[in-house]
Amino acid sequence: MHYHRLRNTAQITIDGVRVYAAGDHVPKPVRNGLYKNTYEDAERRLLQQILRRGDRVLEIGAGIGVVGLVAARITGGRNVLSYEANPALEEVIQANYALNRERPQLRLKAITPDGARVIFHQADNVLSSSVHERREACRSVTVESDSLAAVLEEFSPDVLVMDVEGAETQLLSSAPLDGIRAIVLELHPHIVGEEAIARLEAHLEASAFKKVAEDRKTVLLERDAAVVSAS
């Protein structure tokens, strides 16, 4: 990390994908994570553990595009659909996509249960931006959304990747998850509370998803192959 900071390294390679690590459009916490190879590292590790060539991947919460690019490198870019609600990240996402041969489909919208417009709270540290109003938020914008049920029906993903800063409890509690083989999910009990997370985990278990790996706040859940085939 110190080497990169001293040189102000402009681009780095993570898990085979190239990304910008310097410049005004890369916030300092993200830059430090990229230099230390800790940016979204749990999601990247768990996703690569489960992903197969040709899988269709729905990513909700693209950040600066790294996880979606890792998925696209494995599955092929047209097989990855990434959503990002924060319009301030469009420039860096598109710049990172342009560095790579395989790139996801990108929709700059939120995902909600009903597809209605939603207030999105932006923070200078993009890692804390959320539909939940938090102390770190410094401005709020209204963004368009697509309903999760509609996107699942349209895109028919095999794998769902979700990092939505607390919105996971609302989104997944009523989502039709038939056909999804695996979920890589970052949990946020510090935002929504331990009880809400426990209810979500119980709901997913009742939907035949089993937790097979855990990496700090991120979990990998797999669904029994027979259940997926019957969906």
Give the integer Cα–Cα distance in Å for 80 and 72: 6
The pLDDT of residue 121 is 80
The confidence band for 113, taking pLDDT boundaries of 50, 70 and 90, is very high
At 88, the amino acid letter reads A
Beta carbons of 212 and 222 less than 8 angstroms apart = yes
Angle between helices 41-50 and 66-75 (to 10 degrees): 20
pLDDT, the chain, mean? 90
Lowest mean pLDDT among 51-55, 60-64, 138-142, 171-175: 138-142
Is pLDDT above 70 for 100? yes
Band (106; pLDDT cuts 50, 70, 90): very high
Residue with tokens 């939603």: 118
Please state which CATH class domain 2-230 belongs to. alpha beta
Cα gap 12→57, rounded to integer Å: 24
* Calpha distance 32→102 (Å, rounded): 25
Q: For the chain, give the percent of residues with pLDDT over 70.
A: 87
Q: What pLDDT, in 10s, does the model give residues 87-99?
A: 989 999 999 999 9
pLDDT of 139 reads: 80
pLDDT of the residue at 228: 58
Tokens 């102390």 appear where? 135
Over residues 155-190, the pLDDT tens digits come to 999 999 999 988 999 999 989 999 999 999 999 998
Mean of pLDDT values over 75-96 = 95
pLDDT reading at 28 higher than 60:
yes
Residue 17 contacts residue 66 (beta carbons within 8 Å): yes
Digit-coded pLDDT (tens) for 194-226: 999 999 999 999 999 999 999 999 999 999 765
CB atoms within 10 A of CB 172: 22
pLDDT of residue 41: 97
Across 69-131, the runs of DSSP E, i.e. the strands, are 80-83, 105-107, 110-112, 118-123
Phi, then psi, of 154 in degrees rounded to 5: -70, -45
Strand bridging mode 17-20 / 11-14: antiparallel
Spatial separation of the C-alpha atoms in residues 104 and 97, rounded to whole Å: 8
pLDDT 10s digits, 117-165: 998 887 766 655 666 665 555 788 899 999 999 999 999 999 999 999 8
With cut-offs at 50, 70 and 90, classify the pLDDT of residue 9. confident
* In the chain, where the domains are located: 2-230
What phi-psi label fits residue 40: left (phi over 0), alpha (psi between -120 and 50 degrees) or beta?
Answer: left
Closest CA to 7 of 21, 24, 28: 21
